[in-house]
Structure 1
Amino acid sequence: MTITSPSPTLSESILVDGLQLIGGEWVPSVTGRTIEVINPANREVIARIPRSDAADVEAAIDAAERAFPAWRDLNATARAALLFRWAQLIEEHTAEIDQLESQEVGRPHWGPPPMAGQLRFIAGQADKVQGVSLPTYSPETLGFTLREPYGVVGGIIPWNAPGPMFVTEVGAAIAAGNTIVMKPAEDAPLTPLALAKLALEAGIPAGVINVVTGYGHEAGAAIPASPRIRRMGFTGSPFTGSLIMAACAKNLTPLHLELGGKSPQVVFPDADLDQAIPAMATGITLNTGQICAAGSRVVVLRSIHDEVVERLATQMQKITYGPWHQPVNMGPLINEKQHSRVLGYIEAGRKEGADLVTGGGAPQGGDYGNGFFVQPTLFDNVSPDMTIAQEEIFGPVLSVIAVDDEQEAVRVANGTDYGLVASVWTRDVGIAVRMSRALQAGQVGVNNALGAGVIGGPFGGYKNSGFGRTMGADSVLEWTQVKTVSMRPAGAPRI
């Protein structure tokens, strides 16, 4: 990971303070209430956002409904051109957007932001949405399908990677011809607002993208509750996902859910540990472990267990942490609630009998100030049924579970309610093939820690990690519905 030391100040050219986007206008909440956005490294206020509720959501839906007919009827190549222009503006503001997201999330710079590339990939699909011709019983009948947008759709995203998740959800939805009402997390809404500002500058018409800010139980809950929302996308916890799904069920609204993970990293005796150890340490400390795909369980064959633990401890002790603008590997957790939650899981690991190898505390004083920092933490001798081995911690906490053979490795790896990402570390092609088939996960990485490295790989989960896929070649199709058309000449004989 490239470590840089950017300026600790934010450019105001893309910063939106105190307003939200509805119908192409930057407006406060109906009530005038606001929420403070806190820098998690020092608890200082970065900006304020509207604390919206159902009234603001209804206004956003009104705006999206007004914009929908013209946006739907705009030819797909023209829609794609606007998305390409949006991507270009994002690229021109890359450094500003990266620093904005770094400050509100708390993460240090972790490489070039992916948003421009994500949008270009999506824009390339916009005019590739096609129906098919259908066989008919008579040559006088023509049968074919049309793919059409749903209309006004909704999306809710979390705080851990707000920029990439915003463009992934919004880009695919509007590329298909929908208009959208988005609700970013109240902890990290500034990057989505900045991206929406650039979308307007790119020429995407008013009302096509609407961003309503506020708390989940107020603004967020109002989106899936509305019968005028015709499809939903949600990324977040399984608990909140179940609430979203229940709300959608009342209106029979289709949705996709991208939920949590408890990703296993299965290490075989022939693994290249020089490659695997740094990747596993980075995989659990990147974004302070606040990544759904983070490999939080090391399932290791007993013959190399001791070596893996020793090397992992050494590697994790090298991880530096501090405020986002310093040249460090890891920043703070997002907020006080998450800080207490992660420390609670660490305490649960101790109480349930796991061996704390390194970390386990919250650094104090100096650059850590009042920030929500926690040390990279490694537990050994974790049993598969322990809390830290079963529940998503969403922090830099890694558990090592020793197994005797490949079959036990599969049972342990699959032995949680989640199925998002899994990794396999081996030089043996046969093991790689068998494990890729046996692991219950939406993404399997062989000799990589986060299931990454491909362009356009569909992303989503098995089991309680959700359903539906984003980011793949069909991501735009996911936001369309299919209509079958049967066409016959007037007066043709009945079949």
Structure 2
Amino acid sequence: MLQTSVKSYENYINGKWVSSVSNETFESINPADTSDVLGKFQSSTKDDVETAIKAASDAFPSWASTSPSKRAAILNKAADILESRVEQYGEELTREEGKILSAGKGEVKRSAQTLRYYAVEGLSFTGETFPNDDPNMDVYTAREPLGVVSVITPWNFPISIPARKIAPALMTGNTVVFKPSSDTPLIALRLVEALHEAGIPEGVINFVTGSSSNVGDPLVKHPAIRAVTFTGSTGAGESIHSKASLTTRTQMELGGKNPIIVMDDADIDNAAQLTVNGGFALTGQACTGTSRVIVMKSVEEAFTAKLIEKTKELVIDNGLVDETKVGPLANEKQLNNVLNYVDIGKKEGANLVYGGNRLEGPKYDQGYFVEPAIFTDVKPDMRIAQEEIFGPVIAIIAVDNYEEAIKVANDVEYGLAASIVTNDIKLAKKFTQDIEAGTVKVNRTTTGNLINAPFGGLKKSSTSTFRESGRVGLEFFTQIKTVYVGY
């Protein structure tokens, strides 16, 4: 794609668009066509972050005392703005992250819905009143905002994940310093831009771009930061959690190694389709993506054949092409990581029965395209069955029975999402109790969660403290006072 000029974008601090003190920028590029540059963004420094934190601190008292209806009005107006620009923003998201256009547009719409959801839920989110034996005393709890919140988000859902963190933070009266992934800064900026145009007061939300090595520490360790909400890798989450002080609350949504169990009574065609949808949609780049299929030996051959058949039907191309079902990986690092794990799987003795190659040719050479990979003869202790790959690689593990399937499914350090495909209602119920995962599905893909339902994982997939999404998503951003009033 021939470009004559590249637009520069600025940080958003204290209600103004400003350049970094570093006077340096980085580029956001299209992973389907690396010659397509979406813009230049600020390479921020510690000083930029500290300026943003001060702005958020100064704005907090006024925003905390702003009426809930006024906060809700701003969220609703920002949602209107996002919805009015779905076509533009959906295309920008696809160009920046790589997912197919329908998914890009859908994510923008979902983000607007998230803003509206919290605008409503926040109006009735309050404390409790407790009965007591003294008729001349009232006892109740009051929920109050925490203060300045750091929001640190990944590239795979670059506007919807920020929306589900920022909306409840703002609705409960907190102020925000937001750092998006350096792979997807433009679509993140569009969310901030919508809030700005909706009339959010100066300093209530602040936006800084740049590498985590330069800006990560002050976003976590600054004494004014009262909470950090982060979605990303388990390693990065553990680092953030360890750096936060005793008075800084953390919310970590981290990695997954999500299984789908295929029982011998399953509809094989449906099971294969659910696996394709969960493992290869979004190019496998979802924390809830299906990466392990634990299948009964009696149906392994039929299932594998059907999975390969459906995978062959997938059109791999630029996400802007209508027929595309699988876009590129988001960046070169992801491409190299996936190819490396394909090699690891082969060396471990697993059988690569389909895909796993970097794609070549005129429509692929400028991007990070790889064939979805399917391995059979996978042992539960192999690295491809234990470690998060975050790409379109599926490991098929054959077992003899349900008990062995559950043992294999639970024998990883993660516990984010899991599914079973079966027509046995009693077994499905047992699965929901036996599986060690925060999101449990029956006859559905491992991916996807409702805006109005809690989301989070167990074990190393989460801090297992405060859930995101749904009404409970407001809890992380508030603290409770218990009040006794005597008359």
TM-score (normalised: structure 1) = 0.94
Q: Deviation per CA, 1:312-364, whole angstroms, max 9, x where unpaired?
A: 01111111111221121111111111111110000000000001111010011
The residue aligned with 2:87 is: 95
Matches within 5 A, 1:192-207: 192-207=188-203
Matched, 1:150 2:146: yes
- CA-CA distance at 1:136 after TM superposition: 3.4
**Counterpart pick for 1:140 among 124, 136, 139:** 136
**1:265-315 CA distance string (max 9 Å, x none):** 001111122322122112111111110000110000111000010110111
Say which of 223, 229, 234 aligns to 1:227: 223
- SS of the residue aligned with 2:240? helix
Aligned to 2:78: 86
Map residues 62-141 of structure 1 onto 2, 5 A cutoff.
62-111=54-103, 112-113=106-107, 114-141=110-137
Q: Does the alignment pair 1:256 with 2:251?
A: yes
Structure 1 residue 203: Cα displacement: 1.5
Question: Which residue in the other structure is 1:365 paired with?
Answer: 361
Per the alignment, residue 470 of structure 2 pairs with 472
Q: C-alpha separation between the residues in 1 aligned to 2:449 and 2:54?
A: 41
Is the 8 Å Cα contact of residues 50 and 213 (structure 1) preserved in structure 2? yes
- What residue number does 1:5 align with? none
Letter paired with 2:424: D
Contact 2:72–2:120 (8 Å) recurs in 1: yes
**Structure 1 residues 15-414: aligned runs within 5 Å:** 17-44=8-35, 45-111=37-103, 112-113=106-107, 114-248=110-244, 250-327=245-322, 328-414=324-410
Asked whether the equivalents of residues 142 and 487 of structure 1 are also in contact (C-alpha less than 8 Å), the reply is: yes
Distance in 2 (CA, whole Å) between partners of 1:177 and 1:383 is: 50
Task: Find the aligned partners of 1:151 and 1:178 in 2 and give their Cα distance.
Answer: 5
Q: Is contact 2:278-2:290 (8 Å) kept? A: yes
RMSD of the alignment, in Å? 1.7
Shift of 1:96: 1.2
Instruction: Give the aligned residue type for 1:242.
Output: E
SS at 1:47's partner residue? strand
Shift of 1:42: 2.1
Distance of 2:247 and 2:341 partners within structure 1: 37
Contact 2:266 2:422 in 1 (8 A): yes
Count of residues in Structure 1 that have an aligned counterpart in Structure 2: 478
Equivalent-residue separation in structure 2 for 1:25 and 1:370 (angstroms): 36
Taking the aligned partners of 1:322 and 1:360, their CA distance within structure 2 comes to 16
Is 2:144–2:172's contact at 8 Å kept on the other side of the alignment?
yes
In the alignment, the residues of structure 2 paired with residue 137 and residue 181 of structure 1 have an alpha-carbon distance, to the nearest angstrom, of 45
The residue matched to 2:38 in structure 1 has which SS? strand
Query: CA-to-partner distance for each residue in 1:5-47, whole Å, 9 max, x for gaps?
Result: xxx999x9xx973311111111111111111112111222221
Contact kept, 8 Å, 1:261 with 1:392, in 2: the verdict is: yes
Structure 2 CA distance for aligned equivalents of residues 116 and 473 of structure 1? 17
Q: Is the 8 A contact 1:333 1:373 kept in 2?
A: yes
Deviation at 1:484, TM superposition (A): 0.8
Give the letter for the 1:40 counterpart. P
Following superposition, the deviation at residue 135 of structure 1 comes to 3.1
Does the 8 Å contact 2:7/2:38 carry over to 1? no
Q: Distance in 1 between the 2:55 and 2:423 partners?
A: 55
Secondary structure, aligned partner of 1:68: helix
Match of 1:407, SS?
A: helix
8 Å CA contact 2:437–2:457 kept in 1: the answer is yes
Q: Is the 8 A contact 2:260 2:446 kept in 1?
A: no
| Alignment CA distance shift 1:455-1:224 (3 Å) | closer
CA contact 1:360–1:376 (8 Å) conserved in 2: yes
Q: Which runs of 5+ in 1 are unaligned?
A: 1-7, 490-495
The percentage of counterpart residues that share the same residue type is 39
* Distance (whole Å) between structure 2 residues aligned to residue 84 and residue 450 of structure 1: 31
**What is the TM-score when the length of structure 2 is the normalising length?**
0.95
Deviation at 1:67, TM superposition (A): 1.6
Deviation of 1:101 (Å): 1.0
Shift of 1:205: 1.6
The amino acid of 2:177's aligned partner reads V
Of stretches 284-293 and 271-280 in structure 1, the one that deviates more from structure 2 is 271-280
Distance in 2 between residues matched to 1:29 and 1:105, nearest whole Å: 24
Q: Which runs of 4+ in 1 moved over 3 A?
A: 451-455
Distance in 1 between the 2:422 and 2:8 partners?
49
Question: How far is the alpha carbon of 1:449 from its aligned partner?
Answer: 0.7
* Whole-angstrom CA distance in 2 between matches of 1:146 and 1:135: 15
Are residues 397 and 168 of structure 1, via their aligned partners in 2, closer, same or farther at CA, if it must alter by over 3 Å? same
Give SS of 1:127's match: coil
Residues 373-406 of structure 1, C-alpha deviation per residue, up to 9 Å, x if partnerless?
1101100110000010000000100110001011
Distance in 2 separating the partners of 1:77 and 1:320: 47
Letter in 2 for 1:397: V
Question: Within 1, Cα distance between the matches of 2:251 and 2:348?
Answer: 36
Q: How far did 1:173 drift?
A: 0.5
Partners of 2:217 and 2:22 in 1: CA distance? 17
What amino acid does structure 1 have at the position aligned with 2:295? V
Q: What is the distance in 2 between the residues matched to 1:285 and 1:439?
A: 23
